Amino acid sequence: MVNPDPFWLCVIFIVGASVGSFVNVVILRLPRGESLANPPSHCPVCGKTLSFFDMIPVLSYVALRGKCRHCGCRISPMYPLVESFMGILFLYLGYRYGLTLLFFRQAVLLGLLLAVTVIDIREMLIPDELVLSGAVFWVSFLALSKVLSAWVQGPLKLLCEFPVFTKAAAEATFHATTDRVGAGLLGPPTCSEDLIGDLARGLLGGALGFLVFLAISLVTRGMGGGDVKLAGMCGLYLGPALTILAVFIAFVSGGVVAALLLLSGKARAKSHIPYGPFIALGAAISSLWGEQIILWYLARLLP
The four Cα atoms 29, 20, 40, 27 give a dihedral, to 10 degrees, of 10
* C-alpha distance across the termini of the chain, in Å: 35
Q: 131 burial class (0-12, 13-18, 19+ CB within 10 angstroms)?
A: buried
Torsion angles phi and psi, residue 244, rounded to 5: -60, -45
Nearer to Zn ion, 50 or 200 (CB): 50
- Cis before 31? omega within 30: no
Please, what is the minimum distance in Å from the beta carbon of residue 47 to Zn ion? 7
Asked if residue 208 binds Zn ion (CB under 5 A), the reply is no
Please, what is the minimum distance in Å from the beta carbon of residue 67 to Zn ion? 8
Please, what is the minimum distance in Å from the beta carbon of residue 175 to Zn ion? 51
Nearer to Zn ion, 51 or 292 (CB): 51
Nearer to Zn ion, 72 or 222 (CB): 72
Please, what is the minimum distance in Å from the beta carbon of residue 69 to Zn ion? 7
Nearer to Zn ion, 21 or 117 (CB): 21
The conformation of residue 269, written as its DSSP 8-state character, comes to T
Burial letters for 193-223: b for 16+ Cβ neighbours within 10 Å, e otherwise?
ebbebbbbbbbbbbebbbebbbebbeeeeeb
Q: Are 195 and 101 contacting, i.e. CB atoms less than 8 angstroms apart? A: no
Could you say which residues in the range 69-128 bind Zn ion, by CB under 5 A? 70-71, 73
Fill in the per-residue mask, 146 to 175: x = in contact with Zn ion (CB under 5 A), - = not in contact. Answer: ------------------------------
**The one among 45, 136, 139, 143 contacting Zn ion by CB under 5 A:** 45
Nearer to Zn ion, 64 or 169 (CB): 64
Please, what is the minimum distance in Å from the beta carbon of residue 54 to Zn ion? 10
Please, what is the minimum distance in Å from the beta carbon of residue 25 to Zn ion? 17
Specify whether the backbone of 271 is left (phi greater than 0), alpha (psi in -120 to 50) or beta: beta
Q: 85 burial class (0-12, 13-18, 19+ CB within 10 angstroms)?
A: middle
Nearer to Zn ion, 71 or 215 (CB): 71
**The one among 9, 43, 144, 273 contacting Zn ion by CB under 5 A:** 43
Please, what is the minimum distance in Å from the beta carbon of residue 32 to Zn ion? 18
> Total number of residues binding Zn ion (CB under 5 A)?
7
Fill in the per-residue mask, 56 to 75: x = in contact with Zn ion (CB under 5 A), - = not in contact. Answer: ------------x-xx-x--
Q: Are 174 and 100 contacting, i.e. CB atoms less than 8 angstroms apart? A: yes
**CA atoms lying within 13 Å on the CB side of residue 27:** 24
Rule CB under 5 A: which residues touch Zn ion?
43, 45-46, 68, 70-71, 73
